[in-house]
Chains A and B, each alone.
Chain A
Amino acid sequence: MSIEATPGLERVDDTDAGPDPPYLYPDYRSTALRAPGKPLVLLPHTLSELTGPVYGQDAVGALDHDLTEGHGGEPLGERIIVAGRVTDADGRPVRSALIEIWQANAAGRYAHEVDQHPAPLDPHFAGAGRCLTDDEGRYRFVTVKPGAYPWRNHPNAWRPAHIHLSLFGRAFTNRLVTQMYFPGDPLFAQDPIYHSVRDPNARERLVCELDLDTTVPEWALAYRFDVVLGGPAATPLET
């Protein structure tokens, strides 16, 4: 909804912002003091919006996609593969997209000093990984299924199990930070972060699917999570 005609630039009401959550979502208490209160100014799409950092294979290490490696032993928990494709809003693959992930361990505890949940840390699990998409936009991580954990948003509040993802598309406007959930989680019903995406179809796009085709028999179940980066279509900077 356009609020007023200021010369040159339109104002946009945040409550009509497409699939993304609104800034102010009272059920998620932390939004109360951090959500902008004024309408947003719609930016023209200049080179500043249509370009973004470009990553090459040197941006990630050979084992960075495997969160079960590199920490002196196998982490506890259910080993899983998380794989999928990154495309733009026209369905075209986004290649060389940098994906960074971080998550709690199988017990629901983050390797972060602020996390006080009385669940064990796992010395063999740091919980962070990164990778680049290939020419078809595909990516693949190996990790363990994160546990649910409590937080203080409301009485007896628990976050559904989730993996955080950060993605760079072709342009700085495509930048996306999101969370991937697991199918059928009974904690969805009481989670305001999940429900902050108001359109049920859009919410469904935050939930991965069990993928038996990618599952490695007798080793690890696979979950498929495809990501669509919105924003203006852009031509990548030539490297």
Chain B
Amino acid sequence: MNLMQAFKMAFKSIASKKMRSFLTMLGIIIGVASVVIMVSVVQGQNKKQMEYLEAMGDNKIQVYASRWYGSSGDISELLYEYCLGMQDLVVGVTPQIEVWQEITIKYGAKTFNTQNWDDWEKRVSLKLGSDQFGVCNNYTLGGGRELSFLDVDKTNRVCVLGGGAKKLLFDFVDPVGETIFINSQPFLVVGWYEPTGVEGMSDMDNVVLLPYTFNRTLNNNQDISQYVVKAKSAAATTMAIAKLKAFLGGFITNGENGNYDVYSNNDWSNQMQEQSLMQSLVLGAIAGISLLVGGIGIMNIMLVTVTERTREIGIRKAIGAERRSIIVQFLIEAAVICGIGGLIGIGLGCMGSLIAGKFLLQGMILWPSSVITIGAFTFSVALGVVFGLYPAIKASSLQPVEALRAE
């Protein structure tokens, strides 16, 4: 008996008992669908986070440093000078401040608000930074120029627009040389950044950047405490972190006269990758258990089937079927049931992933990877073979005459 014929027989047998075959498949369908959805969601989430991190750039060192009231000296300047001293390690340094007061940004008839939390896509944030803000945050200049050291030093009324803010305020018009009004104060647009292109992350692009010296007037005169230092490489990041910690530790004692902390995005992204791997493993294990239960269900049904079909097996053996043919027939039936179940499960999993992507991951188009789909299919077929083996051997060892007398 050739395989082709065996498959035909298996399909016939499955088709003649549609309801039961479907119920048998259900375990596999649910198992495979949940594996596909869970892994896709984790992968999608991870991809999104990685995109975000990538857009922000790697080798980025976050510095938090504040001195309590009464201490003297501007940390910004000290830090700036110190970083200038390690130019072999560091590309740039900038204060990283977002203005949380309600501020209106106006150009012509268009007005935007920093507190427009109802419509994220139309919220424009106001950030304060140095001439190295763009370098530190991985922005690419689209036109015009960056802020200059002089703008910072002289507190010039100039600004640089993020890609999103440029589009909201100016559409496709070149904004360089135009004037926008921030809380009714005129500011000259000197440059703009390309959009970072991360879906659903408008806060990186809907940005208006001013020299950080406006902190006094725009930000209620709060101290600047957050900085970004951009290092040249992963190795430079590690060294720069150690140096920065030593430097800040020189005049700040944590908890006594202030606080400081230095960490890098590299740690963060490693951590995130580890976390994502853990999530995948845990979810995969849970889904694997449900698949196992599905497989046991199949074995159960196949065993019942053997008993039920004793007569059929007897007839087949009496008219010339060898043991091998019976084993192959039952194995293929189990594998076909699981395979069809797997295909349906993958179909449902794809739909589920798309729905999950739409509602959980800001409309991300979440398409399960081919590795997952092929893997899930192979696994479900293998499950059928493994759990079909025992019933198949049992069926094949029936004696034909005994089998025929079972009636």
Do these two chains really belong together in a complex?
no
